[in-house]
Structures are given as structure tokens and as C-alpha cells.
Amino acid sequence: MSTTASVGTASAEGGGGGDVAPPSATASADTPMTGADGVPEGTSPDKPASPPAAATTTAASTEKDAASAATFLFASESVTESHPDKLCDVISDAIVDACLTLDPASRIACETVCKTGVVIVLGEITTSASINYEQVIRDAVRDAGYDDPAKGLDYKTCNVIVALEEQSPDIAQSVDAAKVEDIGAGDSCIVFGYACEETPEFMPLSHVLATKLSARLAEVRKDGTLDWIRPDGKTQVTLEYANNESGVPVPKRVHSIVISAQHSEEVSNDKIAADLMEHVVKPVVPSQYLDESTLYHMNPSGRFVIGGPHSDAGLTGRKSNVDTYGGWGSYGGGALSGKDATKTDRSGAYAARWVAKSLVANGYCARCKVQLSYAIGLSHPMSVYICTYGTCTNKNGMAERDLVKMVESKFDLRPGCIVKELDLRRPIMRKTAAYGHFGREEEEFKWEKVKEF
């Protein structure tokens, strides 16, 4: 019987907790050799696959070998809203919303740190609102499920430290303007947006599945379906992709699923594995992507009683790939949470996604990456870059080199205009803090509404 509750359909013990060999970048004889970046040589999620080299004919050569040589593995991960890093994002954005609710013109740059029994909030906030920051913090910790020291944090008794100052007047004078359209960028930064045709959300499937699994982990805790689950949790999904004739990665199957769920002391590893398969994996992952070779690893560490901030310190902005595109496209480096929309790390990233999704949804390309760059105090972006990975359709005679001019004519990418058009002075930021800022159809997320052109 497995002590790690790792299960695999190919296991001698079946799906109820038998050990399987841990997946790797080359998981089986059927998967291709990988380069230093973990992507098969000659194949990349960012460029079309090179034609497979002619194989020496041997008695062991099969059609399956040839097919698998043209595929690659790509993994995305996600975490629950109560993971220590994500808890810090939630707290930071709860403070942003508290300020925006009373003063929509608030300037906020708020970082959170958490560890066993303590939450520290620090940063710069300029607002006319009177905020009980300690109460906002305790409420967010409570909502994340941390109501007992045994879970790593207790909202009733944890120590709360608030170290907030006003925004530097040097920064403020460079951002301020008489009209919102003319405000300067709150910082210098580069941001990226990404979109693809893989899913109805115009998001990569590996990211979508990992995100939905982590959200489902929280759901079965909150509704009592699984009474042994505690707040902390993490998921990882590896897909096998093949590039089609246009060089677009197409998901073929789920190679492996890893779920780590914090749990109570008394539950057995076999029950953890069985419950996660039945109540988390099956309701989320479409069956057509699962086969007899799919690997499942449920709490592969074997024990996850100590979790949350007790196990690992949390920090705002440390789950960038979880927040964005699961490792696809690119990421500019700035945190999204804890900032008002004058910070172009946030508003610029939303605009870049808006542009990328609109280009794909309007049929100008099958995949799209958009880069925007901003300089502190200046109201226009320094640069706009668009990459379609060779999938530009030349719709309306628009080659890839023409897309930037078209985008600049259709979207006003000044920070103030982004704030105005996407209505980013509303208290909607806490909702973005967990389960991704993109690929969600909430009414408040106006950057997900395709602009028709």
C-alpha cells in the first residue's frame, strides 16, 4: 500500500492508491528527449515544431513512436486561495478594495507577508478613506479558512502588523493630472498579454485545468464534501501537445495530474487519493483527455498536515504564472495584486490581455503575445509589440507587421484611458487575487470582453 497516495491507472494496484514511477520530462520511452529548458529538442510552445528527423528503421519502430516524437510535454500549476502566497495576494487586494470603496482615487502599493501566527502589511497608500486595516486583514484570513492554530494561522489570535506610509510625493507629482486620461504611469514596467484558441476562454488548457482543480479543492472544503481537507493546496497538470500543420500547439492528452491537499491528522492516504480522484479530478478534467497512461499523484509527499503559513512563509506577488497564463507566453515580472490601476504592472497587463484576446477572437491570428512598455510619469506606452507565432491569418490584408498600427488605432493604451475604459477604480481587485486574473467571464472583468473590430 502506498504511503504517498500516488496513484496511476497503470499501477498494479489500480486507481486506489498504488505506487507509480514519478513522471518526468521524458516520462516514458514514447516521449521525446528534452533540451535544457525542459521542452523537446526542436519543439517549443513558442515556435512551430521542427520536422522530426528521419528515424533509422528498426524492428521496434512503430507509428506510435513516430507520433510521440512530434509531441512535447508542458505543465502548468495553480494554488488554492489559502496557499500562503495566494493568501498574501488576497489580503493585499482586500486592502485595495477597502480603499477604492471609499475613495476611488486612492493610490495603493501594498505588500503582505505571513508566517506562523503573524501577518505583516507594508507599503505606501495615499487615500482620503479611513480604513481599519487590521479588521480588513483578519476578515481576509478568516475567509481563507484559517480559524485554528492547527491550520497554520488563526484570524482571531494572529499578530497583525501594519507598516503603511503615504505614496512618495516625487512619484505622486509624476502621475497626477487634471484629467484621468492624462495621468502618467505609476512606474516603469513591461507587461505581457497572451491568448490562444485552445479553450473557449482563449487560454492554454494546461493552465485552465490546473486552475479549475485548485478552485475545486477549495470548493469541496467549503461545502463540506470532504471534511478532512484543510485550506492549503496546490495542483499541477502536464499535457502532451502536438503542433498542427500551422505550428499551433494542440493538446492531445493529460500526461499527469499532481494534487497536494492539506489534510487533517486522522485521514488515510488511500482515502485522500480516492476522494481527490472522485470529487476533484473527475468533475473537472474532461474524460477525453484521460487515458490508461495518465499518471495521478495525490499528496505525493505522503503527509501534508502542517500547511499554510506554518509550513511556508507567504509573500504577495510570488505566484505570477498562476495569476497569468500558466507559463505560456511571457511575464513582465511585476506583481499584479496589491496595486491600484495607476500602476501599469496591473492595468497594463489587463490591457495587454484585452488586446491579445481581441486579436485572436476577431480571427487575426490563432495565438498572440502582446508586450507593452511604460515609463514612470509618461502617459503613452514606450512600445507596443505583437507576436502571432506564425499564425497571422492576414485578415483584411493585415500581415503581422501591420497589427501594431491597427491595435494603436483601436485601443488607447495610455494608463488613464485603460483605467477609464476598463473601469478599474471599482473595488473588484480581491476577486482577481485567486484563480487567475485572466480567462474568467465575471462581469467585472472588462478586459475579458472582446473588442470587435
Q: List active site positions.
A: 83, 85-86, 111, 124, 234, 304, 312-313, 318-319, 339, 343, 345
Contacts of 99 (CB under 8 A, 6+ apart): 106, 108, 125, 127, 129, 131, 340
Residue whose C-alpha cell reads 479611513 in the numeric block: 130
Strands 118-126 and 107-115 come out as antiparallel
Strands 367-374 and 383-387 come out as antiparallel
The span from the CA of 180 to the CA of 159, in Å, is 39
